[in-house]
Structure 1
Amino acid sequence: MLKSLKVLSVLGLTFFLTIAVSSANDEVWQSIFNNIPAEKEIKQGVWQKGSLYNASVDYRISGGVDGKLSDTDTINMTVEGRGISPISFIGNKTQLTEWAEENKTTLFKAVFGNAPDLATSGRTSSQSLAQSAFMSSIYMAPNVSSHHSETGVGDSGTVSFIPISNKDIIISGQHDRMEIGSDSATGKSGIMAYEWRFGESLAHSGGITIPYRQLEIDDNMNTEYHHAAFMPFFKKRWYQPSGVVEWMVNATLGVTYLKSSVFTDGGGYLEYGWGTGVRYSHALTPNAIVNAGLMYQGLKKEIPNDFVPEEVRWISDALNDLPWEHNITPSVGAIMNFMDGRLTLKGEIFRVHQVQDDVMDGYENQTVVFGMGTYQATSWFSFSLGYKESFELKDITDKSYLIDFKISW
């Protein structure tokens, strides 16, 4: 059943991607030039200025009528962006498409920085997935017993790190509030996850994490950002006196979908990769646990060129040329139990490092502080409230309020 669900999920993502990219607007240049300036319309023979995500664009279009870009119009344009020298163009629409393809890498960097997801959502998909993988490991951390158990490790009778449940389901939601440069954004994100523990002392686990994220950005293009992924995983635990070492490996298949007044029909691209990590937890007392971990997540973006209109083929070509994204995430945290384990407080600090080449200055690192309180209402049901905030990303404020529900059996 679970294998069938995974196959159907992958097919669904692929179908969604195909619809997204194949529905792109055939008059993209006209849409771009109509939405860059404050007037939201091409004014023939007049110099106009505005922004296209990270890029500043000055242009004049001559030879036609307002609001339209014909094949014979003359375009005079200069593009500036963070990390590039200004580039200029003079010619018609056909020549503009050829010029954009020749300068695809420079244009892509000017408009989107490292990637479209960074320009629109304030972080790359790999940074989001690194957060999701880390948060999932916190949410799915097995309930442990603070009472003596014959199956526990050690003879002190203080703490057993052997899980007390075989299967867990997590549904976690976040309300996100962001400032991306001078633009505000609000949205929702969260994680749905399933974990099945098996083997002697339940030392092995298999399951799937499904993170999702949606943002509406109050920019000059009314951008909408959507991201979802499937992350099947496997875990192995080694029990020690008063501690446990847990190793995890995962695969990733995701999709990012963007829509704006420029790309009115929307567009998307596929993401795939893998990750691994190790985490050590140690009981200082039966009710005080500390942990430390290190995680890696890698991701590649790709879009089938056959589905992309020729006018914006430069975007897909530049995106497909992007290198693998590599993220290293160290972490430290603590857990405190109260009321015989019915109330648990968790605190974590983790730092996402982008370690691939050519990362934009100011976006290499992201420190995340996370706190959560969990109440175990019954032996099989618990709920949590929490807060998460990110730091270090340049010109970006990222705050989230969390709630989750966990079912165990």
Structure 2
Amino acid sequence: MPSVTDLMDIESEFSAEELEVRDRVADFVDRRVRPNIGAWFDAAHLPVELVPEMAELGLFGMHLKGHGCPGRSAVEYGIAMQEMEAGDSGLRTVISVQGSLAMSAISKHGSEAQKEKWLPGMAAGELLGCFGLTEPEAGSDPAGMTTRARFEGGRWIIDGAKRWIGLASIADLAIIWAKVDNESARAAGVLDESRLKEGVTEQVRGFIVPTGSAGFTATPIESKLSMRASLQCDIELRGVELDAEAILPENPGMRGPFLCLNEARYGIAWGAMGAARDSIEAALDYAGERRQFDTPLAGFQLTQKKLVDMTVALNQGQLLALRLGRAKDAGTLEPHMISAAKLANCRTAIEIAREARTVFGGNGITTEHSPLRHAVNLESVRTYEGTDEVHTLILGRKLTGLGAFA
């Protein structure tokens, strides 16, 4: 059913197939997420029992093609992420880590043998993956990573650490990004000769690391105030040994992880609008029932102004996400467009969630109502896959032609 917040009749822009995706995922969220999410959030519990159901809905690797992946359109994937994040940002993140990051890395950068080995089981939810890029001292500057892989005796050996890695402690495989020097790359037969003339002495490369490997340790990060119904971890890699074939052969350098990050950022641009929409709908319901001074809250001018301002901003963000999705499906999407949408929609969503909470007064700080939970989750969503500052500088470079990252 269309939302009362759809002031611009955005639903009319969707095909029958896109509406069918929306309705299926929305039904799942209504049945399985909304009745329980307050308790899960309060207990800092990731409901892994939902993973098989997510897989049955075709949410893992939804927009990837081949090797058991659903091969749906970018817009269909975006709509699904909007509905999932209307339930909770942490649960949408499970789908993003699995599909847009781990599976995408294998699909975009892996060999045919790697794709055949891993992707069908991941699409079916039988195998979980994680994506190890961020480090304790390398967040917004991933090129500053210190994790390294060397090639010795026909095997790769990885040492390093990663932080804020979703699903790592329950994952079956990790995509680990590490620096490889030219000597090791040459010995392994994977040296990108074209970069030698540029004076490059090492490059970032991706590796498929089974999490049961000796020396691999993943530890959940506790005491979080945000994304509590999800799982983020520290990873330690101490002399982790891998077969020569563990390296992802395609797209060496930072292009590899950045292509995956853009997939995740795309989903965020849609998902954040789900959290915003749910916050408004919750505020609308509450304002219609709650009475003060013998009048429903919804009957006060100031309350109506809040509801109108939030809903207009929501529709603007939804139209931005839809424009992004149509461009992605048409093959005309440019990276700066993703930055614009991720930056704008995260800002908008967190402002909406905070404002929606005020409609509830003191009652709004409990897990019984969703806006404050969405707001604190969105603090994380706004930060990961590129902070406001990083996306601002990406857009600044597009506008001026000058990089200002340092």
Q: TM-score range by the shorter chain?
A: under 0.3
Greater helix fraction, Structure 1 or Structure 2: 2
Give TM-score scaled by structure 1 length: 0.26
Which of 1 and 2 has greater Rg? 1
